[in-house]
Chain A
Amino acid sequence: MSQPGVREAESAPDDFDPVTLEILWSRLISIADESAAALLRTSFSTIVRESNDFGTVLMDAKGDSLSENTGGIPSFSGILPRTLKHFLAKFPIETWKPGDCVITNDPWLATGHLPDITVAMPIFHKGVLVGFSGSIAHSPDIGGSLWSADCRELFEEGLRIPPIKFLKEGEPNADVLEMILGNVRLPEQVLGDLNAQVTANQVCGRRLIEFLEDTELADLTGLSRTLQQRAETAMRRAIEEVPDGVYRAALDADGFDEDETHIECAVTVAGTNLSIDYAGTSKQIDRGLNTVMNYTYAYSAYPIKCALDPQTPRNEGSYRPVTVTAPEGCILNPRYPAPCNARQLTGHLLAGVLYKALADAIPGRVIADSGSAPSMRAVFSGGDGHGNRFSQILFASGGVGAAAHKDGLSTTAFPTNSGAGSIEAFESIAPLIVWKKEFRTDSGGAGEYRGGLGQECEIENRSDEPLQLSLLSDRWRHPASGVLGGKPGATSEISFSDGTIPHQKSRTTIPPGMRLRMRFAGGGGYGDPRARDPEMLRGDLENGYVSAEAAERDYKS
C-alpha cells in the first residue's frame, strides 16, 4: 500500500483527503516562508527589516495565490496576484520563459507607492509553466522626494517603473538596470535588494519543483482549487456568523492643512458575503495621502480577517468573499497621477473605522481605534560627521485600542507590524541622540478596558550641520476614538525644543543642538471607564500608567 493520500490525489486531482491536504498545504506555506527568510536576511532596506514591509507569495499558473509567507505585511500578499494579472495582460502567459523576471513599482498596478517593488518569476516543471513566485519589498531608495507626504504629483515622488522585464531568460536587462540605478540615491543597495528579491523568488521556485517531484503531482491545478476552496469556505463560514445587516461608521483624520480626511464606510453582511463601500469619503488630494484601490482593499481585508477568521492560512480563497468599493477620484481610489507616497497615513485608518462599524454587531471580536494607526515617522538624513551619508527612520508606535476583555497593548504597531529598532543601534549610525523614549502617562483612552499607552521620544541633532527631517504624522487633532462608552486616547504632538511647531507632514531641517519632541498617540478605551475593575485601576496608578488626577477625572465621575 502506498501513501494513501498521494495515490488518491493522482486518481482524483481535485479531491484530496484531509491528511494529504494538511501535509501539502503546510509544505506550500513553508515554501513561501523559506522564500521570505531568504529575502529578509539579504535585504538592505531598513523598512523591509524593521517594518516587515515585504511579502512573498506562491501563485498558481493562473496567477492566483496558493500560499503566503507567515510573517510579512498581510496586505501585500493579497495584492501580488493582482499585480501578476497586470503582468500577464502585458506579457501573455505563453511568452514567459524560464529565468524571466518582471518587475514594477507602479502604485496603481501594485502596492500603492513607488518605493515598493514587485518582482514575479515563472516556475517551470518538466517544461510546463506550473506557477509563479512573487515578492514585494520596500526599496532602499527610488529617487524623488525620499519618504514624504507633501509632493503634489506622483512624478515628484520618484522613478516609476512600468511592468518590464528585469531578467530575460536569466540574463539581466542591462538597459533597464542602468536606467534604474541612474535614478536612485543608493544604487548598490537598490541593486542588492533587487537581487535579494530575485534570490527569494528562485528559492520559492526551486522548492516548488522539489515539492512537485516529492509528491509526484504533475501540476498545481487540482491542489490549488482545493486549497482555495477550503480557505474560501472558512472565510465564508466566519462571515456567516456575523448578523446580516449594513453597518456604518465614519472617521476623521488631520489630512493636509485645511483638507481634513473624512472616511465613511458601510459594511454590508449578507449571508456569506461581506462588502465594504467607502462612498462619502473625501476626494483625492494633491498631497501624498492617496491610497490606490489595491492598498485600500488590502488594509480593509486584513482587519476583517483578524476579527473574523484569524486562524485559517491565507490564499486567494480567503479574499473572494470580501469585496471593497470606493468611488473613483476619492482619497481611497485616486486617479493617476495622484501623489501617494505616504498612503499609510490614510490606509492605516481603515481598520479603526471598520471596527467601529462592526462594534455593535460583533462587540467581542473587535478593538477600539488605535493611536498607533497611522504610524508616525520621522525620517532623518544628512552627513554623519565622518564623511558617511545616512538616512535613518525613527520607528516607534503609539498605543493599540482596547478590546471587550482586555486592555490595549501599549506602544505596539497596528495594523502594520513595524518594530522599533534599538536606539543604541540608531545612534551608532546617525549623529542623533535620543534622550528619552518612554511611556506617556495618561495617553491610553479611559475605559472598562484601557487603551494602550503611546510614548514620548526626544531626539537631538548632535551633528555640527543641519539635518534634513521629513515628518509623516497625523492624529494631532483627531484622537483614536473609544468604543461602547470608552474614551479616546491622547492625540499626538510634535514640537522643537525652541518651542516652535513643525508642520505635521513636512520636509524641514533640524539645526545642530535642536531637539525634536514627539508624543505618540494612545489607543481608544473600550466600555464605560466607571466599570473598570478597581484592582486594575490600582495597578495603573501604582505603575504610573494613569496619574492620580486622571483617575479621578476619567474613571470616577
Chain B
Amino acid sequence: MKQRIRIGVDVGGTFTDFVVVDEARDLIYTGKRLTSADDPSVAITEGVERLLGEADIAAKTVHSIVHGTTLVTNTIIERTGAKVGLIASDGFRDSLEMGKETRYDLYDLFLEAPPTLVPRNLRRTVAERIGPDGAVLMPFDADGFRTAARGLVEEDKVDALAVCFMHAYRNPEHERQAKKILVEEFGAVPATISSEVAPEIREYERTSTACANAYVQPRMLNYLARLESKLAEMGVSGTLYVMLSGGGITTVRSAQAFPIRLIESGPAAGAMAASYYSGLTGESNLISFDMGGTTAKMCLIDGGQPDRKHDFEAGRVRRFQKGSGLPLKVSVVDMIEIGAGGGSIAQVDGMGLLKVGPRSAGSNPGPVCYGLGGVEPAVTDADLYLGYLNPDYFLGGEMRLDMATVERAIAEKLAEPLGLSTLEAAVGIHDIVNENMAAATRMHLAEKGRDPRRYGMIAFGGAGPVHAYRLAQLLKLKRLIVPLGAGVTSALGFLVAAPAIDYVRSYVSRLEQVEWNHLNTLFAEMEQEATALLVEAGARPEEITLTRTADMRHVGQGFEIPVPVPNGALEASSLSALRDGFFAAYRTLFERTVEEVPIEAMSWRLAAAAPVPNIKLHFGGQPIGSGAARKGSRQVYFSETGFAPCDVYDRYALKPGDTLSGPAVIEERESTTVVGPGASATVDRYLNLLIDLPD
C-alpha cells in the first residue's frame, strides 16, 4: 500500500482533537484546540495548519482528512435546526407527534414528551396511498402535493422539507414523484424523502428520521461546503471524509445528502479505535470502556468488530432515560452510555442512601478538587482522596488538585449525613459508580445474550483507566488493556476506519413465501449503490467486502434478530441456509429455539466496506522508555488492603517488555492507570499496558 499522510479531526463539545499519521516517516502527531462553536471549520483549519507546520508536512502531500463532528447531535439536542415542513399521507398528519403513545417513566405523572421537530402547523397531508405489498391503493395527487409544498415554502417560509408516505419503503414511487416536483419547482429548499434516508418499515420511526435529516441538513450543507473550500484554500488537495455513526467513513457528498447518519460520528471513533487495538493485541473479544467527565460508554467488540445496530434515540428529554428521545433509523455502533464520569456528583437521596450521578459537575465548576467553585463531591474527588490521582500531576501538572477541600467536602456533604467515616464515604462513591457501570454492562451483555467471561476490556478516556481495573473485577474479566495516550485514543479511530456504508430495504415476508426475484433485485440495487459510493471514496471494486443480513423473527414476535444472508443470487434452495442462520442466531440469544413457528423477515441489509487502512503506532515527538519508570510510592486505597504503600510509575518511561505488579498506579498526562494487588502487567511492543487480573 502506498505510504500516505492522513489526518483525523474530532470536533467535540469543548475540544477539537487532531491526529496526523505520516506513514512514510512512521510517525503520529497529536494536537488539541478549543472548538469554535459558531463555525467548527475555523478551529479545524487553524489546527490542521498548525499541526502540519509542527510536523513539517506540506499541505499538498496530505492524502486525506477524516472528520467526526458533534454538530448534528448538538443541533438536535439544542433544538437549533432548520424550520422544517413535513408532507405525509392523508390520515397520518400526526404520526410524528403521537409517537409510541407510551410513558417513558411509569411513575412520573408530569413527564415531558420530547418536543417534536416539526410542529403540527407545519405538517400537511396529501391524497395517496400504497399498501403493505407495494400496490397503489390511491394514486398520488401531484397537484395537491404542489399546493401543500407551495404553502410551506412560500407562506410558512420553511428552510427544509421532509416527505414520508405510508409503505414508501416497499414502493417508493409516490415519494419519487414528490421529490421530482420539489427539485424542479422548489429546488432551493433541501428535501428529504423517507424512502431514501430510511427505507424501513414503521412509519413513526421513518418519519422521525426523515424530519431529523431535514432538520440538520441546511446547517450541514453549509458547514461541509465551507470546510471543503477552506481546506482547498490552504492547499490541502486530499479528500475530505466524514465518519458515519456506524464507524465507516464516507464522502462529503453522501454526508450532505444524509447528514443524520453522522449523529454518532464522534463516539463511533472510540469504538473503531478499540477494534483497532483488538487487532493489534490479538484480543478479539473486548468490552470497550470509555469514561470521560460526564458519561461512560461501553461497546462490545466481537471478533475484532464493534457491534452495530440500526436504530438510535437522539435528543432525549432525560439523557439516560430510554424512550425519552426521538427514534432514528440509522446504523450506529451499538453503545451504551450512562451518567457515570469523573464529574458525576455524589449525594444523599431521600431514603438516606448514597447516589452517584447522573448529574455531573462537568468541567466548570467541575469536581471540588479543581478549585473552580465546585462544592459537591464528585467521582474525581473520591479518586483523589483514595490516592488514585496525583494532586501534583493532573493533566501533566497543569492543574493542581486541592486535597484538603475535597476531604472537607466529602466529610460534610456525605459522611456526616450518612453516619460514615470520610474514608467510607469516599470508598462508597468509588464503589457505587463502578457498580453502576458494571450493572449497565451486565444488562447490555444480557440483552445481547453474551457471556462476560468471553471478554477482555480496553479502557480509555480520562477516567477510564482509573476505574477499569475495578470494573473488570466486578465483571470477572481476566485481561485489561490500557493503550498509551488515553486522550487521543478516540481520535485515532478516524484513521483506522475504512470507507463503509450500510443499506437497508424492508420487505416483509414469511421465509417460505419470499419472492426470490424481488429480493434479488433489492440486493442488486443496494450492491450497485454501495459499490458506486465506495469507488467514489477511493476504493477499488474488487477490494470491497459485501455482507448481507436480514432482520427476522418468528411470526407473532415483535423483536427481530439479525441473521446472516448468503451472498449471490438467492433462490428457493437458499431457504434452508436462512432458516439455519435464524435458528443459530436465536439460540445464541435465547438458548432455545421454537422450530414449529414460521419465520418472517422484515428488513434486508447490506454492509459494504473497503479494506481497513493498516497504520503503525509510533508516537512522534514523545520520548519513550527513557528515564526511570518508577517515580516513587504513595498511599493508595484498595478494597483488598485498605490504604497501603503503592508503586507509582511514569507511563512514558515504560519500555516494551517491562513488567510490573500490582498494586501500582501508572501516570500519564491525561489519565492514570490503576492496577490492583495481585495483578501483573506487561508493556507490549505498541506500548499498551496488558494487565492480567488475579483469579
Give every chain B residue within 8 A of A25 (Cβ-Cβ). Answer: 353
Q: Is A34 touching B107 in the complex (CB atoms < 8 A)? A: no
Assess whether B351 is interfacial by the CB under 8 Å rule: yes
Q: Does B503 belong to the interface (CB within 8 Å)?
A: no
Q: Which of B97, B350, B431 contacts A19 (CB 8 A)?
A: B431
Q: How far is the CA of A195 from the CA of B439 in the complex (A)?
A: 26
B residues 178-232 touching A (CB-CB < 8 Å) = 201-205
Q: Is the CB of B597 within 8 A of A188?
A: yes
A49 at the interface (CB under 8 A from B): yes
CB of A46 within 8 A of chain B?
yes
Given contacts A19-B432, A23-B435, A420-B101, contact A312 B131 (CB under 8 A): no
Q: Tell me whether B640 is interfacial, beta carbon within 8 Å.
A: yes
Q: Which of the residues A1, A17, A22, A367 comes within 8 Å of B642, measured between beta carbons?
A: A1
Question: What's the nearest-Cβ distance from chain A to residue B436, in Å?
Answer: 7
Select which of B103, B129, B137, B431 is within 8 A of A412 by beta carbon: B103
Cα distance A234–B349 in the bound complex, in angstroms: 11
Bound Cα distance A5, B166 (Å)? 57
Partner of B446, one of A203, A311, A434: A203
Alpha-carbon distance between A320 and B71 when the two chains are bound, in angstroms: 51
- Segment of A464-472, A492-500, A503-511, A542-550 engaged in the interface with chain B: A542-550
Q: A386 contacts B513, CB within 8 Å?
A: yes
The answer to whether B556 touches A3, judged by C-beta atoms less than 8 angstroms apart, is no
A420, B100: Cα distance in complex, Å: 5
Binary contact track B364-379/A, C-beta < 8 Å → 1, others 0 = 0000000000000000
Residue from B111, B120, B121, B592 in contact with A195 in the complex, judged by beta carbons closer than 8 Å:
B592
Stretch from A36-44, A158-166, A271-279 forming part of the interface with B: A36-44
Which B residues are CB-close (under 8 A) to A45? 556
Q: Which residues of B contact A435 (CB under 8 A)?
A: 90-91, 129
- A420/B98 in contact, CB under 8 A: yes
Q: Which residue of B lies closest to A214 (CB)?
A: B474
- Give A259-284 as 1s and 0s: 1 = Cβ < 8 Å from B's Cβ atoms: 00000000000000000000000000
Contact A234 B351 (CB under 8 A): yes
**Looking across the interface, which residue of chain B has its beta carbon closest to that of A307?**
B109
Contact B106 A18 (CB under 8 A): no
Q: Is the CB of A199 within 8 A of B350?
A: no
> How far apart sit A435 and B350, CA to CA, in the bound complex (Å)?
50
- A421–B100 alpha-carbon span in the complex (Å): 7
- Whether B404 is near chain A, meaning CB under 8 Å from some CB there, is no
B-side contacts of A424, CB under 8 Å: 132, 166-167, 169, 201-203
Instruction: Find out whether the CB atom of A74 lies under 8 angstroms from the CB atom of B106.
Output: yes
Mark out the residues of chain A between 418 and 465 whose CB falls within 8 Å of any chain B CB in the assembled complex: 418-425, 427-429, 433-439, 455, 458, 462
Q: Which of A82-90, A102-110, A402-410, A478-486 contacts B (4 or more CB under 8 A)?
A: A402-410
CB distance A18 to B420 under 8 Å?
Answer: yes
* Cα–Cα distance between A119 and B94 once the two chains are bound (Å): 40
The answer to whether A423 and B203 have CB atoms under 8 Å apart is yes
Query: Nearest residue in A to B424 (C-beta to C-beta)?
Result: A4
Q: Give A437 to B207 CA distance when docked, in angstroms.
A: 14
User: Which of B91, B436, B446 has a CB less than 8 Å from the CB of A38?
Assistant: B446
Closest to A314 in B: B107
Q: Whose C-beta in chain B lies nearest to the C-beta of A355? A: B109
Report Cα–Cα, A544/B125, bound state, in Å.
Answer: 14
Asked if A199 and B432 make an inter-chain contact with CB atoms under 8 angstroms apart, the answer reads no
CB <8 Å contact, B556 and A44? yes
| B619 at interface by CB-CB < 8 Å | no
- Pairwise interchain contact A544-B120, C-beta atoms closer than 8 A: yes
Q: Does A490 contact B (CB under 8 A)?
A: no
Quick check: is A197 within 8 A (CB to CB) of the other chain?
A: no
Residue contact A543 to B95, C-beta cutoff 8 Å:
no
Q: What is the CA–CA distance of A437 and B149 in the complex, to the nearest angstrom?
A: 22
B665 to chain A, nearest CB (A): 18
| Residues of B93-140 whose CB lies within 8 A of A | 93-95, 97-98, 100-103, 106-111, 113, 119-121, 129, 131-132, 137
Which residues of chain B are within 8 angstroms of A307 by Cβ–Cβ distance?
Answer: 109
The reply to whether A18 and B352 contact each other, CB–CB distance below 8 Å, is: yes
| B202 and A422 form a contact (CB under 8 A) | yes
With A25-B353, A305-B107, A439-B98 as given contacts, are A19 and B428 in contact (CB-CB < 8 Å)? yes
Quick one: closest A residue to B88, CB to CB? A438
Minimum distance in angstroms from A390 CB to a CB of chain B: 9
User: Closest CB of chain A to B349's CB: distance in Å?
Assistant: 8
Taking a contact as CB atoms under 8 Å apart, the answer to whether A22 and B355 are in contact is yes
Whether B132 and A19, one on each chain, are in contact in the complex, defined by CB atoms closer than 8 angstroms, is: no
Complex Cα distance A186/B641, Å? 59
Question: Could you list 24 examples of A-B contacts with CB < 8 Å?
Answer: A1-B643, A4-B420, A17-B418, A18-B353, A19-B427, A19-B431, A22-B353, A26-B435, A30-B442, A33-B443, A37-B443, A45-B556, A46-B558, A52-B102, A74-B107, A305-B107, A310-B109, A311-B107, A388-B510, A395-B101, A412-B101, A414-B103, A423-B95, A435-B91
16 additional contacts (CB under 8 A) given A44-B554, A427-B132 = A5-B431, A17-B424, A41-B559, A41-B590, A71-B106, A189-B556, A191-B594, A199-B592, A412-B103, A412-B113, A418-B101, A422-B205, A423-B166, A424-B201, A428-B132, A437-B98
